[in-house]
Amino acid sequence: MIAAMMSKMRPASPLNELGTAFGLTGAALLFLQFLSSGRYETLSGRIGIDRTMGFHRVAAYFLLGFVLLHPLSYSATSFLSNPRAALNHLTGMLLSERLRTGVVAMAGLIVMVALATFRSRPFMRYEYWRVSHGMFAIAVTALALDHLFVVGNYSAEQPLRLLWFFFATVALVAIGLVYIVRPWRMWREDWRVERVRPLGERIWEMMLHGPETTRLRFRAGQFIWMTLAPHRPPFHDHPFSIASSPTDLPRLRLVIREAGDCTSGFGQIEPGTRVAVDGPHGSFVLPKGKEPVIMVAGGVGIAPLLGMLEEAAANADARSFRLLYAARSPSALAGLERLRELQSRLDLSIQCVVEEDVEGSGCSVGPIGHMHVSRSLRGTQSKDVTCLVCGPAVMMEIVTDALLAQGVLADTIHYERFDYAAGKGHIDRARRREALLIFIVLLLGIVAFSLR
Ligand SMILES: Cc1cc2nc3c(=O)[nH]c(=O)nc-3n(C[C@H](O)[C@H](O)[C@H](O)COP(=O)(O)OP(=O)(O)OC[C@H]3O[C@@H](n4cnc5c(N)ncnc54)[C@H](O)[C@@H]3O)c2cc1C
């Protein structure tokens, strides 16, 4: 909008300007969505993959709202006085040849947002959805760009023309990085599966071995995007946390739960199978300083925490670690043996919680709740602890809310989700409000632009 105001155009009526502002802001958001897709470490590594994906999701709904309001605002003048004329005007716009690329882009965007909202099996395989999401994004952006240049009055002026050129270049570079440069880099290093062994009920430990000269440098707790042969990047990669210490390189350990099409075949993977490794990603790492460190894992959520404990042991970290580890049954407590070994090298206490107790397991009976969390915090100053939480969505909400209720500060609670769904915990909601604030400011800007 600032770029539009820098042009020599004289403002039209407020409702027309409102329609234009919705369209321009929607287009700018569309370009920026490429950067918040969670694939760019510069952004998601800094603010976290959860925050990045949360923003991407909220932005998608606002973007769609702005795009739908764009044609509606142009017809709004007569909606109250003459609804039929307004409807005719709107239909005329939607059928107009001149506006065709814009209308198709809008329809594509509706389909894209609907698929992203309702994507879940058996409706659609995740891989198919991902490919279609990327293709739709590229097509919708190209059509929107055409629409901007064909009918946009402001876009015909120098400042906006330059801005769109800049945005389009950024989007092109982003697409090139994700679909060409990164897959090529992933395949260049010769990574292989060294071994796969069962670690618990439908949980596998997969050891990868890379070249001695590998360029991979990571902090324990970060994750990689992995593609297993016969597939090749970029469309078949899945994210997995690194469950080993950087000092173990060129070996990487992954702890993987069978979840669906890709992971359910992991037990049959032959040693020597080629893998493509892209990483590191994410910012879920062990913060320096504060202790005790309270770790809470649910099921395979142990993977990044195990990596952090391995790193702490390798660095002779003298802090006190308290691990609260929950799973369905004792046999689903993957990696417990290794955690017990680490106890001899770290000040590490382990509290296990299972839903189906087996006599003699030494575990408390769950589900995990406030009582278990408060036991982990016993004898500590809640304001001084560092907390790291990873596990199923509902468990993380219960745990993070319980930590807050016990006086732990929100900014010392770090967590990572293994899905990109919107969480319902207090911290999730606070983060959503932060994102919403950005869009409220944008909305105020749109109104100010139309009333100028
Ligand atoms: C940051 C991060 C770290 C993760 N670390 C681990 C780990 O250490 N161990 C582990 O067992 N699991 C981990 N996961 C989850 C793991 O990526 C999914 O379980 C796996 O991709 C499922 O694939 P599938 O084809 O077997 O199952 P599907 O049935 O295809 O998918 C099940 C669900 O997994 C998610 N998913 C599937 N494919 C992808 C993908 N390519 N990208 C993102 N999400 C996907 C979707 O929410 C989907 O609904 C992590 C996920 C994320 C986001």
CATH code: domain of residue 195: 2.40.30.10
Distance 188 CA to ligand 1 centre (A): 24
In a domain, 116, yes or no: yes
Which of 265-272's residues contact partners 24+ apart within 8 Å by CB, and which partners? 266/196, 266/204, 266/206, 267/196, 267/198, 267/204, 269/193, 269/196, 269/206, 269/228, 270/193, 271/192, 271/193, 271/194, 271/195, 271/196, 272/192, 272/193
- Testing ligand 1's pocket by substitution, the residue of 203, 225, 263 carrying the most ligand atoms inside 8 A of its CB is 263
Distance CA 233, CA 225 (A): 9
Q: Which atom of ligand 1 is nearest to the CA of 303?
A: 8
**Ligand 1 binding pocket includes 257 (Cβ within 6 Å):** yes
Distance 433 CA to ligand 1 centre (A): 26
Distance 280 CA to ligand 1 centre (A): 16
Distance CA 269, CA 196 (A): 7
- 148 and 6 together in one domain: yes
**Ligand 1 binding pocket includes 202 (Cβ within 6 Å):** no
Among 248, 281, 314, the domain boundary falls at 281
- 12 and 34 together in one domain: yes
**Ligand 1 binding pocket includes 283 (Cβ within 6 Å):** no
Beta strands in 112-217 (DSSP E): 191-200, 203-209
- 11 and 110 together in one domain: yes
- 316 and 377 together in one domain: yes
- 116 and 19 together in one domain: yes
- 206 and 180 together in one domain: no
Q: Which atom of ligand 1 is nearest to the CA of 49?
A: 1
Best CA proximity match to 304, nearest among 396, 235, 374: 396
Q: How many residues does the chain have?
A: 452
Distance 420 CA to ligand 1 centre (A): 9
In a domain, 288, yes or no: no
- 373 and 301 together in one domain: yes
**Ligand 1 binding pocket includes 252 (Cβ within 6 Å):** no
Distance CA 17, CA 373 (A): 54
Distance CA 448, CA 37 (A): 30
Residue 250's pLDDT is 95
Residue 120's pLDDT is 66
- 307 and 270 together in one domain: no
Non-local CB neighbours of 388 within 8 Å, separated by 6+ positions: 221, 284, 286, 293, 294, 295, 296, 305, 308, 414, 415
Overall domain count for the chain: 3
Residue 122's pLDDT is 62
User: Which residue minimizes the CA distance to atom 48 of ligand 1?
Assistant: 126
Helix, strand, coil shares of the chain, percent, nearest 5, are 55, 15, 30
Among 281, 307, 327, the domain boundary falls at 281
Residue 7's pLDDT is 74
Q: What is the pLDDT tens value at each position of the chain, 452 positions in all?
A: 777 777 777 788 888 899 999 999 999 999 999 888 777 777 777 777 888 888 898 999 999 999 999 999 988 877 777 888 888 888 998 899 999 999 999 999 999 999 998 876 667 788 888 889 999 999 999 999 999 998 888 888 888 889 999 999 988 998 888 888 888 888 889 999 999 999 988 999 999 999 999 999 999 999 999 999 998 888 888 999 999 999 999 999 999 999 888 898 888 999 999 999 998 988 899 998 777 999 999 999 999 999 999 999 999 999 999 999 999 988 899 999 999 999 999 999 999 999 876 677 788 887 899 999 999 999 898 888 999 999 999 999 999 999 999 999 999 999 998 887 778 889 988 888 888 899 999 999 999 988 88
- 423 and 314 together in one domain: yes
| 63 three-class SS | helix
- 297 and 397 together in one domain: yes
User: Which residue minimizes the CA distance to atom 11 of ligand 1?
Assistant: 256
In a domain, 332, yes or no: yes
- 169 and 238 together in one domain: no
Q: Which atom of ligand 1 is nearest to the CA of 240?
A: 5
Distance 239 CA to ligand 1 centre (A): 6
In a domain, 128, yes or no: yes
Distance 129 CA to ligand 1 centre (A): 13
In a domain, 207, yes or no: yes
Among 216, 251, 281, the domain boundary falls at 281
pTM of the entire structure?
0.88
Residue 121's pLDDT is 62
User: Which residue minimizes the CA distance to atom 27 of ligand 1?
Assistant: 260
**Ligand 1 binding pocket includes 345 (Cβ within 6 Å):** no
- 243 and 385 together in one domain: no
In a domain, 353, yes or no: yes
Residue 375's pLDDT is 93
Q: Which atom of ligand 1 is nearest to the CA of 421?
A: 47
In a domain, 287, yes or no: no
Q: Which residues form the domain of 310?
A: 293-435
In a domain, 286, yes or no: no
Residue 417's pLDDT is 87
